[in-house]
Amino acid sequence: MLNTEIKELIVYLKNIVAEEKPDDGVIEKYRDDPDFIELNGLVRGIRGACKKHFEMIFDLFPDPTIITTMKDGKLLAYNRAFLKLIKTRGKTIFDESMNIHDLYFELDKREQLVAQLKQNGVCENMEITVNDVNDEMFVGLVSAQAINIEGKPHILSVIRDITAIKELEAQIIQLSIKDKLTQVFNRPKLDEFLQSELERSERTKAPFSIILVDIDSLRNINESYGNPIGDELLVAIAEILKQNVRGTDFIGRWSGEEFLVILPDTDEAGAVTLAEKIRTIVEESEFKIVGKLTASFGVSAYRKDLLPATLISRAQAARSRAKEKGRNRVECQ
More confident residue, 72 or 8: 72
pLDDT given for residue 6 in this prediction = 59
| CATH fold label, 178-332 | Alpha-Beta Plaits (3.30.70)
pLDDT given for residue 1 in this prediction = 46
The answer to whether the beta carbons of residues 209 and 267 sit under 8 Å apart is yes
The question of whether 257 is a catalytic residue gets the answer yes
pLDDT given for residue 214 in this prediction = 96
Q: How many other C-beta atoms lie within 10 A of the C-beta of residue 107? A: 11
pLDDT given for residue 15 in this prediction = 65
pLDDT at 91 over 60: no
Element (H, E) at 146: strand 137-149
Mean pLDDT computed over 156-177: 86
pLDDT given for residue 67 in this prediction = 87
For 83, list phi and psi in degrees, rounded to 5. Answer: -60, -40
> What's the CA gap between 215 and 233, in Å, rounded?
9
**Average pLDDT of the chain, as a whole number:** 83
Amino acid at 286: E
pLDDT given for residue 273 in this prediction = 97
> What's the CA gap between 276 and 104, in Å, rounded?
50
Spatial strand order in the sheet of 250-253: 250-253, 258-264, 208-215, 295-301, 330-332
pLDDT in tens, 208-260: 999 999 999 899 999 999 999 999 999 999 999 999 999 999 999 999 899 99
Of 78-87, 154-163, 192-201, which range is least confident? 78-87
pLDDT given for residue 92 in this prediction = 46
Q: Helix crossing, 227-243 with 218-225: angle to 10°?
A: 140
**One-character DSSP codes across 259-324:** EEEEEET--HHHHHHHHHHHHHHHHH--BTTTB---EEEEEEE-SS-SSHHHHHHHHHHHHHHHHH
Domain with CATH 3.30.70.270 in the chain: 178-332
| CATH fold label, 61-166 | Beta-Lactamase (3.30.450)
Domain with CATH 3.30.450.20 in the chain: 61-166
pLDDT given for residue 46 in this prediction = 63
pLDDT given for residue 4 in this prediction = 63
pLDDT given for residue 104 in this prediction = 47
Q: Which of 197, 257, 258, 331 is catalytic?
A: 257
pLDDT in tens, 271-321: 999 999 999 999 999 998 999 999 999 999 999 877 899 999 999 999 999
pLDDT at 133 over 60: no
Of 54-68, 80-94, 217-231, 287-301, which range is least confident? 80-94
Q: For residue 100, what is the DSSP state? A: G
> What's the CA gap between 189 and 182, in Å, rounded?
14
